[in-house]
Structure 1
Amino acid sequence: MPKNNRFSDNVTVFRKYTLPETDMKLAGYSALIYRYDLEVPLPELLSAISEKHRRYTEGKWQVFRTVQEPDQTLLGHLTFAFRYEGIDLLILKNLFKEIEKTEIEAIVQDQPTGRNSRRIWFFYEWLIDERLDLEDAKSGNYVEALDTDLQYPGPKERSKRHRIWNNLPGNKDFCPLVRRTEKLENFSAENLESKVKDTIGKVHPDLLSRAAAFLLLKDSKASYAIEGETPPENRAERWGKAIGQAGQKDLTKDELLRLQEIVIEDRRFVDMGWRKEGGFVGIHNRVNSKPVPDHISAKWEDVPKLIDGLLNTNESLIESDYDPVLAATLIAFGFVFIHPFTDGNGRVHRYLIHHVLAKKEFAPKGLIFPVSSVILDQIDEYKEVLESYSKPRLDLIEWEATSDGNVEVLNDTIDLYRYFDATKQAEFLYECVEETVTDTLPEEVQYLERHDKMRTFISEHFDIPDKGMENLIGFLRQNDGTLSKRARTKEFEALTEDEVNMLEGKYQDIFSEGS
């Protein structure tokens, strides 16, 4: 039932956000949230109507002219939202739970062939999982559930009852959405897949294999470093080997459990497998040891259904032409937000990025992008991207502390993990992938090419074993192309002054080529 008489009074502040002008009217989702007092995370942008006859965006607000003001009805504001804001499944589901189903039936009966009336009908039955007292649509052109100008669609499936193309990229139990933004459109236009293939096509297979091996270990170590850990070399290599096999196996519940077992070597203090208790990311209050969460995991009772939904969405996206980086975003970030394990979630989350990119053949077989090492370099932005999901949901989750310092969630929260806007996460991941394609991979290949040239030069002038040769190049690299006093008086004291000058000069020549 409505909590306010109107969809919008003239407002200056809405849910702590000040509007750009005084006494503006809310429109679309903001008006629906206002009238029905919906407890939901707010959309990235809210809409309002200005009397100043100009359209603009300022802060949290996109401002529309009075000519675009919707009818002050449920249909009017939903139509406005669908046209200008896209689909927000979480808001729609909460809205549909607040209104009488007869309101939806009346909308469809009044406009049986209407584009938006049928979309509303479709979303109601899809989200609420209840068949309305309506006959199947007999006429009207098929329309798409998602407006592809506003959001990235998934594979199409015909809904004959509504005469709707269901192009949602997920299912009822897991369906994040990504908005089209200028940044994402620019990334897509770069055609990074072709850039990877062009780079690789110019590289000798042996050199590429060595670059891939180095980047794999680098990525494995970075994934631990993100968690604040420094694993022994063999443990990092073990996880690196698992990353190297990403995409070779189908993603299943058993496969996720296998990955956790690789990540968690010492299992004496960890309850392995799917969580059987609450979970959170954060700290404990030093005074009373109570949790201070930055993120609250999905209820453990909801994990099986959520993971089933995620795996089904993954399978659907892998087989479609859905953008590989966007697909990796939905699956990898969806997993870490659910947080299905007691420990190991973060590393498995980053593995899933590799898995989806490999399955979608974003890069040639055997080449793994060092995404974790780029994330480590941008750790503050990574945390912000995670918090952009978690923070708005903390106020919507009712919980209490348990005697062992954990959290117990008291209300129904499953939809918070099923439906979310993954645009910020997608933009961040695309930034990371772009850096690996345009900088990290070419730089490593270039370094190895120069390294090999330096080795050839050394072997032509000196009889030095492999280990000594690597040490010599390593000392030169660490000291910006000069041999340190320590190296000249210890490991390489046999070198003459002229030989040292020759080596340093050649190093500078080789490693400054093209820079």
Structure 2
Amino acid sequence: MKENEIAELVREKPNGLYTRRIWFLYEWLLNRQLDLPAADKISYVDAVDSELQYASSGQNSARHRVRDNLPGTPEFCPLVFKTRRLAQFIAQDLKERARVVVSQVPKDLLARTAAFLLLKDSKSSYVIEGERPPQDRIQRWGRVIGEAGRVPLDEAEFLRLQRIVIGDERFVKLGFRHEGGFVGEHDRETQRPIPDHISARHEDIASLMQGLIAFDQAAENELDPVVAAAVLAFGFVYIHPFEDGNGRIHRYLMHHVLARRGFNPAGIHFPVSAAILDKIGEYKEVLESYSSRLLPIVEWEVTSNGNVNVMNATGDFYRFFDATPHAEFLYECVQRTIEQDLPKETRFLRNFDTFRAEIEKMVDMPERTLNNLLGFLRQNGGRLSKRARDSEFSQLTPDEVTRIEELYQATLTEEFTKSG
């Protein structure tokens, strides 16, 4: 609709609920004031129907007699519908359930569980990207995840995160993109891009990231923590502001919101990436639920270096999208970490401690040798192979070997069977 058509609509029905919403949204989105007098002093109407979608508490716009309860700014404001599925997740009070699980674990065991889950999440985040980095990079990123939520997001923080993720910057341009971007492959013969997702135009990145940061600093605090984490994290990955490192930072943002909002028990970070890795098919479907709808309406051409150059205005596609399936998926992952991963890892460590204590009663064995013993038992279904008995563990008596195998069967077989 043209500007004069909006103005005429308001003049015809200045007190109409939908008329005032249209008027407000037009000026809010375009940051342009129509030549209209302020509305009469009548009851306020919400911009977002909070019975249908998640909204902020809002601020009154006296000019329109509309309560601006949009959960974001004109630069970034995805919406999430209040589905039955999300209502069921929220009703479970997973935050309290996580606290109860953790309260039943001794502090020393909890600390080891937390450290293990951090490494597991860090490694999984790299595996999702198809990478097998050395252990020091996994540990370094794990430490970053452990600090999630402590530092507010701003441009400098995003750039810091990218530098840590990339590590070796010799072949990657650090910082926000200055050209187009896409996720996908190249045709092997023509090198023409075959996009699964086309990223935001580089000309729009600055305003989109400002909107993302503003969401983190304000609207996010009024939404359900998991819903807010989904909006922030998936909004970021659709924008894809960097040449590389977007995926891991996208999943870091989930930790950032959950930790900052106190959803995690103190000292624990849910291994969300590990849950995503186990649900990798669903994860890709969720990402494609929006990307696949974007592809037909983004006009692009191939650049000389095999990249894409977007030719139409697409900024609003990344500012305003339906993040409902993303919130539902993230809630699934969080529920899994609370109901399965936390209990599973604490149970494994408790059983491992039992196994180690019983071994130490039999024989004085260094930690490294004990870990090798455990590895041999796991690889051979709870039995020490003849090669292991004749070489690494030739000093064990036949009776000790039998007792060790029985101990493994009693304490750890089930754990490794489930994890295998």
Q: What TM-score, normalized by structure 1, do the two folds share?
A: 0.77
Matches within 5 A, 1:320-469: 320-469=221-370
Instruction: Tell me if structure 1 keeps the 8 A contact 2:39–2:65.
Output: yes
- Residue 153 of structure 1 corresponds to which residue in structure 2? 55
Structure showing greater relative contact order (alpha-carbon pairs closer than 8 Å, 6 or more residues apart): 2
- After superposition, give the CA deviation of every residue in 1:342-384 in whole Å (9 maximum; x if it has no partner): 1111111111111111111111333111111111111121111
- After superposition, give the CA deviation of every residue in 1:70-127 in whole Å (9 maximum; x if it has no partner): xxxxxxxxxxxxxxxxxxxxxxxxxxxxx13333334333333332222222212212
- Residue 296 of structure 1 corresponds to which residue in structure 2? 198
Q: How far apart, CA to CA, are the structure 2 residues paired with 1:451 and 1:439?
A: 18
AA partner of residue 259 (structure 2): A
What SS does the aligned partner of 1:400 have? strand
- Residue 132 of structure 1 corresponds to which residue in structure 2? 34
Larger radius of gyration: 1
- After superposition, give the CA deviation of every residue in 1:273-293 in whole Å (9 maximum; x if it has no partner): 111111111111222211111
Which segment is superposed worse, 140-149 or 421-430?
140-149
What SS does the aligned partner of 2:301 have? strand
Whether 1:242 aligns to 2:178 is no
AA partner of residue 34 (structure 2): L
Instruction: Tell me if structure 1 keeps the 8 A contact 2:382–2:413.
Output: no
Q: How far apart, CA to CA, are the structure 2 residues paired with 1:402 and 1:308?
A: 28
AA partner of residue 411 (structure 1): N
Q: How far apart, CA to CA, are the structure 2 residues paired with 1:399 and 1:321?
A: 37
Instruction: Tell me if structure 2 keeps the 8 A contact 1:282–1:295.
Output: yes
Which segment is superposed worse, 198-207 or 478-487?
478-487
AA partner of residue 459 (structure 1): E
In structure 2, the gaps of 5 or more residues are none
AA partner of residue 181 (structure 1): T
What SS does the aligned partner of 2:297 have? coil
What SS does the aligned partner of 2:67 have? strand
Whether 1:210 aligns to 2:112 is yes
Instruction: Tell me if structure 2 keeps the 8 A contact 1:114–1:140.
Output: no
Paired residue total: 416
Q: For 2:210, which of 308, 314, 319 is the aligned residue?
A: 308
Instruction: Tell me if structure 2 keeps the 8 A contact 1:155–1:322.
Output: no
Whether 1:183 aligns to 2:85 is yes
Instruction: Tell me if structure 2 keeps the 8 A contact 1:113–1:139.
Output: no
What SS does the aligned partner of 1:395 have? helix
AA partner of residue 409 (structure 1): V
What SS does the aligned partner of 2:180 have? coil
AA partner of residue 247 (structure 2): G
Q: How far apart, CA to CA, are the structure 1 residues paired with 2:178 and 2:349?
A: 48
AA partner of residue 216 (structure 1): L
Q: How far apart, CA to CA, are the structure 1 residues paired with 2:256 and 2:380?
A: 38
RMSD of aligned Cα (Å): 1.8
What SS does the aligned partner of 2:393 have? coil
C-alpha displacement of 1:513: 8.8
C-alpha displacement of 1:512: 7.1
Q: How far apart, CA to CA, are the structure 2 residues paired with 1:198 and 1:477?
A: 32
Identical positions, percent: 53
Q: How far apart, CA to CA, are the structure 2 residues paired with 1:474 and 1:194?
A: 36
- Residue 16 of structure 1 corresponds to which residue in structure 2? none
- After superposition, give the CA deviation of every residue in 1:189-234 in whole Å (9 maximum; x if it has no partner): 1111111111111111111111111111111111111111100111
Instruction: Tell me if structure 1 keeps the 8 A contact 2:141–2:164.
Output: yes
- Residue 32 of structure 1 corresponds to which residue in structure 2? none
C-alpha displacement of 1:511: 3.9
Q: How far apart, CA to CA, are the structure 1 residues paired with 2:51 and 2:388?
A: 62
Q: How far apart, CA to CA, are the structure 1 residues paired with 2:32 and 2:143?
A: 47
C-alpha displacement of 1:423: 0.9
- After superposition, give the CA deviation of every residue in 1:428-482 in whole Å (9 maximum; x if it has no partner): 1111111111111110011001111111212223222222223333333444433
Instruction: Tell me if structure 1 keeps the 8 A contact 2:225–2:261.
Output: yes
C-alpha displacement of 1:176: 0.5
Instruction: Tell me if structure 2 keeps the 8 A contact 1:151–1:179.
Output: yes
What SS does the aligned partner of 2:150 have? coil
Considering fraction of residues, name the structure with more helix: 2
Which segment is superposed worse, 396-405 or 284-293?
284-293
